[in-house]
Chain A
Amino acid sequence: MTAVARTIRVRNAVAFQVKDCPVLGEREFHDEVVSTVRNGAWIAALYGEGQPDGSVKLFAVLADDAAHELAITSTVVRDKYPSLTAELPQAQAFERDIAEVWRIRPVGHPWLKPLRFQAARTDAPDILTPVERKIGQSPFFSMLGEEIHEVAVGPVHAGVIEPGHFRFQCHGETVHHLEISLGYQHRGVTKALVGGPNKRTQHYIETLAGDTSVGHALAYAQASEGLSRGEVPGRAVRIRQIALELERLACHTGDLGALSGDVGFQPTDAFCGRLRGDVLNLTALICGNRFGRGLLRPGGTRHDLDEARIRKVLDVLDAYAKDVRQAVDLLQSTASVLARFESVGVISKELATEIGLVGPAARASGLTRDVRADFPTGAHLVRPYVPVTATTGDVAARAKVRALEIEKSLDLVRRELQAPWRDGLTWLEPGGLRPHEMIVSLTEAWRGAVCHVARTEATGHFACYQVVDPSVHNWFGLACALREQAISDFPLCNKSFNLSYCGHDL
């Protein structure tokens, strides 16, 4: 007798039948998720779907980097289930989302409170009190002691930045605990994506996190193409890769400038501010919009590259490369900068693994995790990507990974632009989405892994469309990085992660 599969294992952006996803018992599901993660996978998505009979089906999508496979499993619960967070801290945000949307209690969750302060999507009796559900009023984790004091920051911050609330528990200057409470940007996108694709879908996708328009648009395009078995012309595959790497170049450049500005080192701040704009303008040269809005579509791209445009992009990148190297070298060779970057906001490799960090933050702590290498699509299928890493896990390491990735992205963009271009279309109209299928689509956006999970119903429309921005994983990393740090290091630590509020709040 062969053992019954406890998960379905699939490749990135390859659709499968919903009925092929195992439905386990509550305990079995728990044990399967825990053991798969303990064996090296990380939770890419964990969410609930309401069922007609009032129960809720929980899906876990576990990314097994080493096997280059996504393991997916499910269970059906009614009002509670044994919490995963106690054993897998990286489940904490997902379980809070399930609790507030579906009123299902993860029994044993150490700090259950809403993740986004969103409305429930069920009539079941609530497990949270009205006060707990109220943004800004929900109780914060607090410390007691004679000289303990609390610092509350936000939702409105000092800079031109999105809103979120930070609550520090301090003793003197030292932060013992930071709780990050978000949800101010909640726009109800996940709910609105159900029933699509429709004429708003692309706009929802491109504004999930507006600074990651290309990363999310690529994840959506891959998901749609997988569900419709659509082909993507070779030219489009290359233009998408160029756009994704330009997005990374612009954001990493901006981040290095911001880090520099935060420690009062003006030159690199000033140079990088300008250089970031030069790269955004290249994206605008390709599609008219600095953030790549309207460039990607399921089936390809809406714009093509001509000879003159390719030449122009290469020329600007040459000038950019020279200037950005100088700006970054200056930053990394200035003793007063290094003194502020080193040993600040340290996340060890063990902690990064435990809390499921992704993106440059994970790689700065020594994890090789990178969707381009672990779950390749497009050009990376034929030319494997080798991730860059650092070891110290501090602000300096997060800066270093960005600096190294600027070089990698420059290489990728140049290689794509310079390789011979074969004539052809950039877009093939995709057919309808196949009914009763599911797909997981991952991309490595500049902040890290973007995960979209879609399920279609009988007519080929989305019955469920879940989005996990890399920020959902990494906000908890920022909170951990602040432990035992001086509160004055918060802005610097924050910039070294530079996470999305709207991508988290959806």
Chain B
Amino acid sequence: MFEAFIARLQQGHRTMRYPDGPAPELPDRFVGRPVLDKSGCRECGECADACPVGALTVVDGGPQLDTGACLFCRQCELACTHGGVHFTKEHRLAGARREDLIVKPGPATIAKAYSEEIHKRFGRSLKLRQVSAGGCNACEADSNVLNTLAWDLGRFGVQFVASPRHADALLITGPVTENMLLGLKKTYEAVPAPKFVIAVGACAIAGGPYRGHAECHDGASGTLKVDLFIPGCPPHPLTILDGILRVLGKVEE
């Protein structure tokens, strides 16, 4: 018993101060929101050819990147000869509307995530039921990590719960496999209304690396209406937390 107390004292208080204090520092090699520049674009298409999932296209004389589908592998950035694609360290990637995830050439902006309705209904208490439908356990792990004392999701009134019947929202990961489709639908039906849906990661938003596979459904949108998209492969825990806090209106957009 005493050993446990001593250990507790030595390990110290580890919960981050964010959002009241600074966000945890991300490493210099972190790959976040891209910024696109079409000034030198010759429409050679090499960036689009380099993309493994067709997230990058050349439209109206410049690149356009769907961060919802993007795996953040930086192949387009490496392929472009005139610096038309640049990934920044910006971790705020979440957005409420699918089309807002598409980044176009021009100054950096952040997609809007806030929902008046969700804020009113769940702003003080939000219970999440996580469903993995073909996820590789990276998005799952970095969602689950929000429960650790470092992130302490509970302090925002947000909690992962065991039963869909206790939940207000589904947090979906994975490309939605055919084998898990029924399980996902039934879990959604078991959540009492009012409810909403969060898609976490490239797979749940657009299929990820499995885009176009006959065994998968290219994400959750084909099955359920998604209210919040959190891009990444996998998204950093800070990106996931930011998305949840912004949709609830707990941090400024």
Give A contacts to B, CB under 8 Å.
Answer: 117-119, 135-136, 155-156, 158-163, 183-189, 192, 199-200, 202-204, 207-211, 213, 267, 270-271, 273-274, 276-277, 281, 284-291, 293-294, 303, 323, 326-327, 330, 333-334, 500-502, 505
Contact = CB atoms under 8 A, between A and B. Distances in A.
Most buried by A among B10, B149, B160, B215: B215
A326 B6 CA distance: 10
A186 B217 CA distance: 12
B50 interface: yes
A289 B235 CA distance: 9
Contacts of A271: 7, 11
The 9 closest A-B pairs by CB, nearest first: A210-B136, A210-B138, A288-B29, A273-B148, A158-B162, A188-B215, A203-B209, A160-B144, A207-B136
Nearest to A268: B7
B83 to A, nearest CB: 19
For chain B, which range describes its interface: under 10, 10 to 19, 20 to 34, or 35 or more residues? 35 or more
B141 interface: yes
Contact of A330 (B7, B71, B236): B7
A274 B13 CA distance: 11
12 contacts: A156-B187, A159-B162, A160-B143, A185-B132, A185-B174, A277-B148, A281-B27, A284-B29, A291-B234, A326-B10, A502-B137, A505-B179
Interface of B: 3-4, 7-8, 10-11, 14, 26-27, 29-31, 50-53, 71, 73-75, 130-145, 147-150, 160, 162-164, 174-175, 177-180, 182-183, 187, 208-210, 213-216, 233-234, 236
A288 B31 contact: yes
Contact of A188 (B3, B51, B52, B214): B214
B54 to A, nearest CB: 10
B134 A185 contact: yes
Nearest to B211: A200
Nearest to B201: A210
What is the predominant secondary structure among interface residues of chain A facing chain B? loop
B138 A184 contact: no
B145 A291 contact: no
Contact of B180 (A185, A267, A273, A327): A185
Given A135-B179, A160-B130, A188-B214, A290 B137 contact: no
A187 B215 contact: yes
Nearest to A281: B27
A479 to B, nearest CB: 20
B142 A200 contact: no
Nearest to B236: A290
Given A158-B162, A160-B160, A163-B183, A211 B141 contact: yes
Given A119-B214, A273-B149, 13 more contacts: A158-B163, A160-B160, A161-B132, A162-B137, A163-B132, A200-B209, A203-B53, A203-B208, A211-B138, A276-B145, A276-B148, A287-B29, A288-B31
Nearest to A291: B138
A492 B211 CA distance: 36
A502 B136 contact: yes
Contact of B233 (A119, A293, A323, A326): A293
Contacts of B30: 284, 288
Nearest to B233: A293
Nearest to A282: B27
B27 A285 contact: yes
Contacts of B142: 290
A210 B135 contact: yes
B140 A161 contact: yes
A25 B4 CA distance: 63
A161 B136 CA distance: 10
Contacts of B51: 199
Contacts of A203: 52-53, 71, 73, 208-209, 233
B213 to A, nearest CB: 5
B210 A267 contact: no
Contact of B31 (A199, A202, A289, A323): A289
Nearest to A271: B11
Most buried by B among A158, A163, A294, A327: A163
A294 B73 contact: yes
A207 B133 CA distance: 14
Nearest to A199: B52
Given A156-B131, A160-B130, A290-B236, A209 B7 contact: no
Contact of B29 (A162, A199, A285): A285
Contacts of A189: 210
Nearest to A267: B4
A502 B216 contact: no
Contacts of B75: 199
Contacts of B4: 267, 330, 334
A502 B135 contact: yes
Nearest to B136: A210
Given A156-B183, A274-B150, A211 B73 contact: no
A138 to B, nearest CB: 12
Contact of A303 (B29, B175, B215): B29
B143 A294 contact: no
Contacts of A277: 145, 148, 150
B179 A186 contact: yes
Contacts of A136: 182
Contacts of B213: 187-188, 192
B165 to A, nearest CB: 12
A267 B163 CA distance: 26
Nearest to B162: A158
A258 to B, nearest CB: 10
A326 B29 contact: no
A202 B233 CA distance: 13
B3 A187 contact: no
Contact of A210 (B53, B130, B141): B141
Contacts of B132: 160-163, 185, 501
B27 A288 contact: yes
A323 B130 CA distance: 31
Contacts of B175: 187
Nearest to B6: A326
Most buried by A among B130, B136, B163, B216: B136
B179 A294 contact: no
B141 A118 contact: no
Nearest to A284: B27
B71 to A, nearest CB: 6
A327 B50 CA distance: 46
A300 to B, nearest CB: 15
Nearest to B78: A302
